[in-house]
Chains A and B, each alone.
Chain A
Amino acid sequence: MAVIEVQNLSKSYGNVKALDGVSFSVERGELFGLIGPDGAGKTTLFRLLTTLINPDSGSATVDGYDIRDEYLAIRSRVGYMPGRFSLYPDLSVEENLQFFAAMFGVTMEESYELIAPIYKQIEPFRKRRAGKLSGGMKQKLALSCALIHNPGVLFLDEPTTGVDAVSRSEFWDMLAGLKEHGITILVSTPYMDEASRCDRIALCCEGRILEIDTPEGIVQGFDRPLYGISAKNMFALLERAREVNGVVDCYPFGEKHHLVVGDGFDEKKFRNALADIEGIEISTVKPTIEDMFIKLMKR
């Protein structure tokens, strides 16, 4: 049975459609990622599922409870970590945890086993004010607080935004550890490279879901040849490459440009067409989730 079931959910703020007919479902114990840029509607979706706002149309259930009619039941069953740091900066690490434990009617001892792998890392700083923690430690504390009552479903809205690369990687390791406890996790992130850490991902853009699949499945869906090209003058290369016959798309991607080509593309002809650009290098590259995202967005 699906733990999160979303059907045709829509939500508008004035004239802006934050969420436009979104449907998906998440199985028990799954780590499900919502991948998309800012403004894709991720936060709105989280607020809907955590019953903080009501949908304009469509329906959704969390753990079998309707988000509109049975929202109180949902609220005691889920853990929620909002996008911005939402703990009390003037309380210490320990006091924050104790407060959230009291709120859910549990003690820190009861939940210690679950939060231990995470909390142990910040325990040396338990007397420090939460506001004085580093970004990575703040996230760990927030996750500990969201987990204190052993929730069946965990909602994490951009938990790694504003966190250094090492802490981000550690954070995903922790989520993998939580899966072992059978906790269903819905997580959002704007970083495409984190998508591969999820069981399944949904690519979101402008209030819609473009595609839902496993990270591998998404990449496999990229059915055209892909090249990485570079030259001394990267900008001229980008401009000119787009005009060459047989090129479907060309866009900057890290240090190189990614070149998506169609049938009838010939590397030699391409080089000839751009003979006046110095130092062109062409190599085949494996498509990534970001390539798929760009492809879907342009469709």
Chain B
Amino acid sequence: MERNFASFVKKESLHILRDTRTMLVVMLIPIILMILFGFAISTEVNNVNVAVVAPERTDGVHDAVERLAQNGYFTFKGYISQNEIDQCLRSGKANAVVVFAQGYDRRAAQAAAGIETKPIIQLIFDASNVNTAGSASAYMQSVLLGTASQQAMFETRMLFNPQMKSAYNFVPGIMGLIFILVCAMMTSVSIVREKEVGTMEVLLVSPVRPVKIIFAKMIPYFAISCIVLVTILLLARYLLGVPMTGGVCGIFSLSLLYLLLSLSLGLLVSTIATTQVAALLISAMVMMMPILMLSGMLFPIENLPIFFQVVSNIVPARWYIDAVRKMMIQGLPIMAVWKNCVILLGMTAVILAVSLKKFKDKLE
């Protein structure tokens, strides 16, 4: 019977390999998405042009400006006077203006000693892009204050991702999306194709249990997904510079679990759909939309209306993306996300059980 199984897997692989176009799409989509989200679409602090207003150019001011100019994310555009601020921001010559208070050095020293309580630096931002302005201001504060953080009236620190690189955030999201796309959509379409073309009839009238054929179908897709997974991880590490301090092994194991879950979802869709188009639509509408909207990939779950927050609990990608973020960016070990693992494992078991129960070995 093992020989049987091997030839089923071989047949499935031939189907995939001969469909070069689909094959290319599957391999290229992750790379394109990674580059797109990693570079083109970004909300991160990058190339912020900064002008400075300083009544006295003291040592303290020089130090602060020097730190700003040295930083790769800010470009120092020179000193301007108080009444040039508005015009400078409007014309787009600068995206941000730093204003140092009168007697900055003295007051900074007093602030360090706890005597001075009023702000001594004003940051003025062009907030037409709210996201960029918000993250830039936070980052700029930390840069200006530098090592002398005791000077701070308040202290905000961006842990793990101090530059607030958006790529860090998108990589787990892309992973959550891609594997559903490759595994669920493609397996369901390929199973439903057998129904639609009529080969399922011939498969059913044979001594082989169809479930076996279907598991054989999953294996090549699983293999492709593994290649895609490695590609994404390599791109994330070496192209986007995601730290992955939590250990690649943990991310990999969790992703394998998520692959299984996606494959089971594909099987479930194939038991519902009778045409390839229907399978595609179900995969796209019922699975992709929640992943985009409710998984925390694009919008933080905490910002969703309560109703959708509750709904998001049943979106598997939510738990996966959350866990990958923790491991990839915060550098936590897999043990720290055990709760997510258990939830994903449970979901896989339920989906698999339901789809196997729903899978009929008759035509109706």
Contacts and interface: CB of A to CB of B under 8 A. Distances in A.
Are A and B co-members of a single complex?
yes
Interface of A: 47, 50-54, 72, 75-76, 78, 80, 82, 84-88, 90-91, 95, 98-100, 102-105, 145
Interface in B1-34: 1, 3-4, 7-8, 11, 14-15, 18-19
A51 B362 CA distance: 7
A76 B14 CA distance: 26
B128 to A, nearest CB: 53
Contacts of B207: 72, 75-76, 103-105
A102 B1 CA distance: 9
B198 A52 contact: no
A95 B363 CA distance: 26
Given A53-B364, A85-B198, 13 more contacts: A51-B205, A75-B207, A80-B202, A80-B205, A86-B201, A88-B199, A90-B15, A91-B14, A99-B8, A100-B202, A102-B7, A103-B4, A103-B207
15 contacts: A52-B205, A52-B363, A53-B364, A76-B206, A78-B205, A82-B198, A84-B198, A86-B199, A86-B201, A87-B202, A90-B15, A90-B18, A99-B11, A102-B8, A105-B207
Interface residues of B, number: 24
Nearest to B202: A86
B208 interface: yes
Contact of A82 (B1, B4, B201): B201
B11 A91 contact: yes
Contacts of A104: 206-208
B14 to A, nearest CB: 6
Nearest to B197: A86
Given A52-B362, A75-B207, A103-B4, A80 B11 contact: no
B203 interface: yes
Nearest to A90: B18
What 8 pairs between A and B have smallest CB-CB spacing?
A76-B207, A102-B7, A86-B198, A80-B205, A52-B363, A90-B18, A50-B205, A99-B11
A contact face: mostly helix, strand, loop, or mixed: loop
Given A76-B207, A80-B202, A90-B15, A102 B362 contact: no
Contacts of A54: 362, 364
B3 to A, nearest CB: 7
Contacts of A88: 11, 15, 199
A145 B11 CA distance: 15
Contacts of B202: 80, 82, 86-87, 100, 145
A180 to B, nearest CB: 24
A174 B1 CA distance: 32
Interface in B193-214: 197-199, 201-208
Interface of B: 1, 3-4, 7-8, 11, 14-15, 18-19, 197-199, 201-208, 362-364
Contact of B4 (A51, A75, A87, A102): A102
B7 A90 contact: no
Contacts of B4: 102-103, 105
Nearest to B4: A102
Given A53-B362, A90-B14, A98 B204 contact: no
A103 B199 CA distance: 13
Contact of B201 (A80, A95, A105): A80
Nearest to A99: B11
Contacts of A78: 205
A97 to B, nearest CB: 11
B207 to A, nearest CB: 4
Contacts of A85: 198
A156 B364 CA distance: 21
Nearest to B203: A103
B217 to A, nearest CB: 13
A51 B206 CA distance: 11
Given A54-B362, A105-B4, A90 B203 contact: no
A211 to B, nearest CB: 29
B360 to A, nearest CB: 10
Contacts of B15: 88, 90-91
A47 B363 contact: yes
Which of B3, B15, B18, B202 is packed against the most chain A CB atoms within 10 Å?
B202
A67 to B, nearest CB: 11
A52 B199 CA distance: 13
Contacts of A105: 1, 4, 207
A91 B3 CA distance: 19
A103 B208 contact: yes
A143 to B, nearest CB: 12
B199 A75 contact: no
A183 to B, nearest CB: 16
A52 B204 contact: yes
A16 to B, nearest CB: 14
A99 B4 CA distance: 9
Contacts of B7: 98-99, 102
Contacts of A52: 201, 204-205, 362-363
A72 B208 CA distance: 9
Contacts of A72: 207
B60 to A, nearest CB: 73
Which of A85, A98, A103, A105 is packed against the most chain B CB atoms within 10 Å?
A103
Given A86-B198, A103-B4, A75 B14 contact: no
Contacts of B198: 82, 84-86
Nearest to B7: A102
Contact of B3 (A47, A50, A100, A102): A102
A82 B200 CA distance: 10
Contacts of B201: 47, 50, 52, 80, 82, 86
A105 B212 CA distance: 14
A87 B15 CA distance: 12
